[in-house]
Amino acid sequence: MLRYALKRLVLALLVALSVSVATFALLSFATDPARAIAGEDADPLVIEQIRERYGLDRPLPVQYGAWIGGLVRGDLGESYHWKRPVSELIATHAPVTIKLALMSIFVTIVIALPLGIIAALRPNTLIDRAALSTAVAAQAIPSFWLGLIFIILFAVKLRLFPVSGDGTTWHFVLPCIVLGASSVPAVMRLTRTGLLEVLGSDYIRTARSKGFRGLRLLLRHALRNAMLPVVSVLAIQLGHKLGGSVIVESVFAINGLGRLALQSILGGDIPTLQMLVFVFALTFVLLTLLSDLLNGWLDPRLRLG
Amino acid sequence: MNWTSMILKGIVAALFAILGPIGAAHANKADDTLVVALQRGILSVDYHYTTKREYIILSELTDDGLFYIHPDTLKPVPLAAKSFNWVDDVTLDVDIRPGIKFHDGSALTADDVVYTYKWTLNPKSQTNRGKQYAEWLQGIEKKGPMSVRFKLKYTYPLALTTLGRGIPLRKKGAFDADVAAGRIPNGQTLNGIGPYRLVKLDPGKSTIVERFEGYYKDSPKGRPAIKRIEMREIPDWGTQQAELISGGVQWMYDVPTDVATNMGESGQATYLNGPDMRIGFLILDAAGYTEKGGPLTKLQVRRAINHAINRESIVKNIVKGGAQVVHTACHPNQFGCVQNVMKYPYDPAKAKALLAEAGYPDGFPLEIWVYREKEAAEAILADLNKAGIKAKMRFVQLTSLDKARKEHQIAAYFGTWGSGGLADVEGMSNHFLPTTDRNMSGDTRVAEYMIGGQKFRDEAKRLELYTKGVQLIAEQAYWVPLYAFTVNYLTSKDLDFPVPKDGLPLLFQAKWK
C-alpha cells in the first residue's frame, strides 16, 4: 500500500508540473500580463515600465525556468497584482475555501445520502420519483442563478443571512448550500443505484435469511458496500469545491482561492495562477488517492488486490 | 409554550451557539460610514504603484498632489501648492502651501516634495508613471524650505495638469525601508496628505478610510462631510444590487445601463449618470498597411463607411444612458476638440453611391477587430452589410488586438479610449504619434497637428493646431467616431453624490441628505 501511495504521489507531482507548463504557455500566449496589470488605457510607457519590473521582457523559457527554479528553492514568487508572496496569498485564501468546501460537502452528504437511501428502499414509488426529480432539477440550476435567488429570498427579503462577504460563519450558510446543492444529484443517484444493486445481491439475501432486517441490515451490510463509488465521487466533488468554487465565491464575494484564481486570470497574474493550478492539480490527485485508500478500508477485497 | 415553538427556539439558540452572532448591523448614515461597492478590490494603496480607476478613486481620498483638477472647470488649480510661477517655458517655480500635515502629523516641506519627485523620476524606484514623467520632466530642486523649482525638458502645456494627477506627495524617506530591503514598495501602508487617512486595508476585500481631522482648512477640495468610507469588493452586479437594497452599500459605480435604469425605475435606489471622457470609434487602415491600394486607402470608401453607420440608433438602443454621438477623434468636452468638422449623417444610399464611385459597387470584404462593445459592433456590422460591405467581426482579447495591430494585420478595429479623464485633446495623443501603430492614417499631418499642439503653452496656438488636426481626421475620414460613453452610478436614497464631469468620482464631495 505504501509503495502504491508513493507511486501516486510522484504521479501527482508530474501531473501538476505538466499542468503548470500548459498554464504558463497558454497564459503567456493569450494575454499580456503587463497590459492586464496596467489597464485598458495605460500609456505604453507605463506598460513598458511594468514589463521591465516583473521581467516580462525576458524570453518565455527563461521566465518559466525562473519560476520553476524558485519553486524548487521553496520560493513561490510574488504576485504581480497583490505585490505579496504567492505563498502568503495562498495561505490567507485557502482557509476560506477549505471552510466553504467542507461545509458544502457536509450539505451534500446530509441531503444526498438520505434521499438516495430512501429512493433505493422505495424504488419506483412516488418518493423515488420525487427524489430523482429533485436531483434532475438541482443539476439543471446554475450556481450563479441559485445563489442570486437565495440572496434575494434569504438575505434581502427575509433578512436571515448576510448578502455577501466572509466575515462570520453565517456568511457561509447560503454559499455552502448553493455549492453543496450542485453535488447532490450525482451523489444521490449513485447512492440509489449502488444501494439498489447491493440490496439485490446474494449476500444480502443470505443476511435476510439469517434474520437481519431494517436499519441493521442497511447500515451493517448494504450501505458499506454501496458507498464504494459514492466515496470516490465525494472525493472528486470535494476537489471541485476546493478548486472550482469560482462562481459561488464571486457571487457571494467570498475571498477564497476560486476568486483569487479568477482575479489572477483576468489580471494576467501568472505567478499566482501558476501556483494555484499547481495546488489544484495536486489536490485533485491527492483526493483521488485518499478515496482509493478509503475504498480499501471499506472493502478489504480491494486491499488484498 | 408549545413544543414546536420550543424546538424552533432551541434550534436557533444552538445555531447561534455554533455560528456566533449573525454579524454587525450595516454601516450606513447612522454611523456616518459610506460603503461603496467596487467590482475590483483595492490590493495596494500607493498610487505610485497602481493605475486603474478604483485606485484613482482611492487616491483622491487619501492623497493630494501639488495641483488639483477642479471638478467644475476641469482645469488645474494649486492644491498642496500655494502658488506657482513660470520663470520661462521650461522652468516652473512652486511655493508650497504652509500648514499641510501628513497623516502621521508631520508637516509637509519642500524636502518631501523634492523627495517624491526624485523618487518618481529615479528608474530604480520602478513607479508606474516614472517613465511617462521623465519624458518631459528634467528634474526638481529645492529653492527654499517651502519652495521648489521644476525644470522641464521642453515646453509642455499640460505640466500643471499632469502634476495634478499621478504624483501624490510622500514624506521624505517614505520608501527607505523598501530600498534597504531591496524590494519594490507594495503599498500596504500609506502616509499621505489627503482628506482621508487609511485606517484598514484588507486587500481584495475591504479598504477603510477615515476623515483626516488635521487636513488643511483652505484646501480646494474642502472638508469632507462623511466621516468614514469603506470600499468593498463585490464582483457580481446582482450581489451589489442586493447589498444596495438591503442597506449594505450606498454607492455603486460604472453600473451597466440596464441594471442602473431598472434599479432607478424600481425606486429602490437613485440612478445618476454623467459623462465619461471615454469615446468609442473605428480606426481604418487608410495607409494600406494591410493591403496596399486596398479599399480603405480610398477616401470615398472611408466616407461611405462613416455614412453607413447609424450612430444615433446605436446610442439610443444599445449604449443608452447619457451616451452621445460624437463626430470627432476626441471627446467634445476636451480642450481642442472643435466640433465644426465634416459630419457624416446616416445615409445608406449615399454610402452605396460612394462605394460605387470608388469602384466597389458590390462592396468588399472587411474584417473588424473588436475587443469589447460586442453588441454595438454587431449593429455596426449589420449597417455595413446593408450598405453592401461584407463586414465580419473578429472578437479578441485586447492583448491580441494590440499584437495584431502592431504587426499591421488589422484593416479596421473598434477602439475605445478614456484619456485618463484628461479634458484636453492631449489625452488622445497615443493615437496620433507618428510612431504609434494606432495611427493608421499614413498622413504625416495628423501627428504634425495633433502632437504639435503639445509643444506650445499658448492656448490659441494649440487650439489652432488641434483644430486643423481634428478637422483633417474628419474630412479624410481616417476614423469613424461613434459615441461618448456614460458612467452610471446607483446610490442609496439618503446619499447626495455630485456627478463628476470627467467620469472620475470624487467621494470626498459626497454627503448625507
Same domain, A69 and A100: no
Same domain, A249 and A293: yes
Q: Which residue has the higher pLDDT, A287 or B302?
A: B302
- CATH number, domain of A112, equals 1.10.3720.10
Average the pLDDT over B144-163 and give the result: 93
Q: Is A24 inside a domain boundary?
A: no
Q: Is the model's pLDDT at A283 over the cut of 60?
A: yes
Q: Is A111 inside a domain boundary?
A: yes
A167 and chain B in contact, CB less than 8 A: yes
A159 to chain B: which residues are within 8 Å by CB?
246
Q: Is the model's pLDDT at B21 over the cut of 70?
A: no
Q: How many domains does chain A have?
A: 2
Q: Closest approach of chain A CAs to the CA of B437, in angstroms?
A: 11
Same domain, A117 and A216: yes
Average the pLDDT over B13-27 and give the result: 53
Looking at residue A175, its pLDDT comes to 95
Q: Which residue has the higher pLDDT, B153 or A205?
A: B153
Average the pLDDT over A40-63 and give the result: 81
Same domain, A47 and A100: no
Q: Is B400 close to A45, i.e. CB distance below 8 A?
A: no
Q: Is B52 close to A81, i.e. CB distance below 8 A?
A: no
B203 to chain A: which residues are within 8 Å by CB?
82, 84
Looking at residue B3, its pLDDT comes to 52
Q: Write the CA distances from A69 to A11, A82, A275, A276, B184, integer angstroms.
A: 20, 21, 13, 17, 21
Same domain, A171 and A129: yes
Q: Which of residues 44-83 of A touch B (CB under 8 A)?
A: 44-46, 48-50, 52-53, 81-83
Average the pLDDT over A91-110 and give the result: 93
Q: Which residue has the higher pLDDT, A168 or A28?
A: A168
Q: Which residue has the higher pLDDT, B103 or B502?
A: B103
Average the pLDDT over B57-73 and give the result: 94
Q: Is the model's pLDDT at B108 over the cut of 80?
A: yes
Contact B108/B80 with Cβ under 8 angstroms? yes
The amino acid at residue B44 is: S
Q: Is A12 inside a domain boundary?
A: no
Looking at residue A80, its pLDDT comes to 84
Residue where one domain finishes, among candidates A50, A75, A100:
A75
Q: Is A8 inside a domain boundary?
A: no
Query: B172 CB contacts (<8 Å, ≥6 apart)?
Result: B109, B111, B112, B114, B115
Half-sphere exposure of B238 (CA within 13 A, CB side): 15
As a whole number of angstroms, the distance between CA B208 and CA A90 comes to 23
Query: B48 CB contacts (<8 Å, ≥6 apart)?
Result: B119, B120, B125, B127, B128, B129, B167, B168, B170, B185, B187
Same domain, A286 and A232: yes
Same domain, A145 and A233: yes
Residue A41: DSSP 8-state: T
Of B51, B234, B420, the CB nearest to A253: B234
% of residues, chain B, pLDDT over 70: 95
Continuous H helices in B343-456: 348-357, 374-386, 398-406, 444-450
Q: Is the model's pLDDT at B13 over the cut of 50?
A: no
Residue B293: DSSP 8-state: T
Q: Is A1 inside a domain boundary?
A: no
Average the pLDDT over B202-222 and give the result: 94
Same domain, A114 and A241: yes
Domain at B3-62+184-274+487-512: CATH code: 3.40.190.10
* Range in A208-222, A256-270, A278-292, B181-195 with the lowest mean pLDDT: A208-222
Same domain, A127 and A274: yes
Q: Is A162 close to B399, i.e. CB distance below 8 A?
A: no
Q: Is A214 inside a domain boundary?
A: yes
Same domain, A94 and A234: yes
Contact A296/A282 with Cβ under 8 angstroms? no
Q: Is A15 inside a domain boundary?
A: no
Same domain, A47 and A129: no
Query: B67-179 adopts what CATH topology?
Result: Dipeptide-binding Protein; domain 1 (3.90.76)
% of residues, chain B, pLDDT over 90: 74
Q: Is the model's pLDDT at B139 over the cut of 70?
A: yes
Looking at residue A6, its pLDDT comes to 78
Looking at residue B397, its pLDDT comes to 82
Q: Is the model's pLDDT at A18 over the cut of 90?
A: no
pLDDT range class, residue A36, cuts 50, 70, 90:
confident
Q: Is A50 inside a domain boundary?
A: yes
User: Looking at chain B, which residues constitute the CATH 3.10.105.10 domain(s)?
Assistant: 276-486
Contact B450/B425 with Cβ under 8 angstroms? yes
Contact A233/A287 with Cβ under 8 angstroms? no
Mean of the per-residue pLDDT values of chain B = 91
Q: Which domain holds residue A57?
A: 32-75
- The tens digit of pLDDT for each residue in A151-163 reads 999 999 888 999 9
Q: Is the model's pLDDT at A280 over the cut of 80?
A: yes
The per-residue DSSP string of A235-274 comes to: HHHHHHHHHH-HHHHHHTT--SHHHHHHHHHHHT-HHHHH
pLDDT range class, residue B353, cuts 50, 70, 90:
very high
Residue B473 is placed in which grid cell? 481626421
Mean of the per-residue pLDDT values of chain A = 84
Q: Is the model's pLDDT at A61 over the cut of 90?
A: no
* Range in A206-210, A246-250, B55-59, B191-195 with the lowest mean pLDDT: A206-210
Contact B415/B118 with Cβ under 8 angstroms? no
Same domain, A137 and A256: yes
Q: Is B243 close to A164, i.e. CB distance below 8 A?
A: yes
B128 to chain A: which residues are within 8 Å by CB?
38, 46, 49-50
Looking at residue A237, its pLDDT comes to 86
Q: Let me know how long chain B is.
A: 513
Contact B235/B464 with Cβ under 8 angstroms? no
Domain at B276-486: CATH code: 3.10.105.10
pLDDT range class, residue B165, cuts 50, 70, 90:
confident
Of residues B370, B199, B186, B294, the one with CA closest to residue B379: B370
- The tens digit of pLDDT for each residue in A190-207 reads 999 888 888 888 888 888
Of residues B370, B476, B453, the one with CA closest to residue B416: B370
pLDDT range class, residue A265, cuts 50, 70, 90:
confident
Looking at residue B12, its pLDDT comes to 45
Q: Is B242 close to A53, i.e. CB distance below 8 A?
A: no
